Amino acid sequence: MKFKSTVTALLAVASISLPTGAFAQDRLADLLDKLAEAESAAIAARLERDVQREWSKSGSAAMDLLLKRGQDALEVDDLPAALDHLTALTDHAPDFAEGWHALALAYYQSERFGPAMDALERTLALNPDHFGALRGVGAVMEQVGQPERAYDAYSRVLALRPFDEDVQAALDRLEVRVKGTSL
């Protein structure tokens, strides 16, 4: 009987001390709002790191480990290992947007643009504000010769993340092709 009371008390304390899903969502929404309105690149960089840290939490230590292993494999260009880890991750955690985003990066680096786009679409279905996935859509669309769609995706990134110099350069590069020149 005493054991049951102890376990119940521990569970109650743990449930109170852990952030709830709603709290985490509110925190993430607040971070994204602050990022979109950031007044400097330094503030934006800090907020972006915080957003990405939140996005990389799957809620499962095993899934977080698969994500880490996949990302580590991507960093050393071990694409077969990255694809293995990230495919396993998305198989076991299909509602984890960051797993799909990492898988999209692996496909993109493997120059498999169709599967990369599928994974990016899955990411955005789960997390419409995922600026990394939107940036990936822009890159894929550029690669496959669809500058208008690339421009639209990059524009959405800049609305979420205003201090992205690479995206601004991509928009500048594509603007003439998409909008033409004024006379």
Domain boundaries, the chain: 2-179
pLDDT value for 177: 86
* For residue 22, pLDDT beyond 80: no
* For residue 169, pLDDT beyond 80: yes
Check if the beta carbon of residue 137 is closer than 8 Å to that of residue 153.
yes
Check if the beta carbon of residue 123 is closer than 8 Å to that of residue 133.
yes
H helix runs in 18-145, sequence order: 21-36, 41-55, 61-75, 79-92, 97-109, 113-126, 131-143
Per DSSP, 39 falls in state S
pLDDT value for 21: 60
How high is the mean pLDDT of the chain? 89
pLDDT, mean of residues 86-99: 97
Please give the residue that has the higher pLDDT: either 130 or 7.
Answer: 130
Find all residues with CB under 8 Å of 163, minimum gap 6, and list them.
38, 40, 41, 44, 45
Assign 104 a pLDDT band (cuts: 50, 70, 90): very high
3-state DSSP call for residue 57?
coil
Segment 50-64, tens digit of pLDDT:
999 999 999 999 999
pLDDT value for 26: 86
Q: How far is CA 163 from the centre of its chain?
A: 17
Class of the domain covering 2-179: mainly alpha
pLDDT value for 7: 40
pTM for the structure as a whole: 0.83
* For residue 10, pLDDT beyond 80: no
Assign 11 a pLDDT band (cuts: 50, 70, 90): very low
Collect contacts of 79-83 with beta carbons under 8 A, ≥24 apart. Answer: 79/106, 79/109, 79/110, 82/106, 82/109, 83/107, 83/110
pLDDT, mean of residues 3-27: 53
CA–CA gap between residue 67 and residue 87 (Å, rounded): 10
Assign 2 a pLDDT band (cuts: 50, 70, 90): low
pLDDT value for 12: 43
pLDDT value for 45: 95
Please give the residue that has the higher pLDDT: either 82 or 7.
Answer: 82
* For residue 47, pLDDT beyond 60: yes
pLDDT, mean of residues 88-117: 97
